Amino acid sequence: ALKNAIDVGSRPMGENVWGGKPALVVSASPGAIGGFGANHHLRQSLVFVDMPTLQQPEAYIGNVPQHLDGDHFDQSTTQFFSTILDSYLDFLERFTN
């Protein structure tokens, strides 16, 4: 569904709504590799629609159920999200100034 939405927003030719908009890809999965394949496939699509994407830190959250404490993530996962967000906000500044 997400890939389809990206495709629709990039049409018709010459009217790409995504072009130049900075992106961040975070994937999460109950499995060990945290959606690695889906994350990279989405990154390929974002290159095609001209969306600069934060490259580091890469954000794969694996074994999600083990990192949840009720409705909240554990402290280390919350800190990782904070690191990702801080990096993205720094990246975003390059496009807003």
CATH architecture of 2-96: 3-Layer(aba) Sandwich (3.40)
Q: What percent of the chain has pLDDT over 70?
A: 99
Amino acid at 24: L
Asked if residue 42 lies in contact with residue 28, where contact means CB atoms within 8 angstroms, the answer is: no
> What average pLDDT score do residues 62-73 get?
89
pTM, whole model, 2 decimals? 0.83
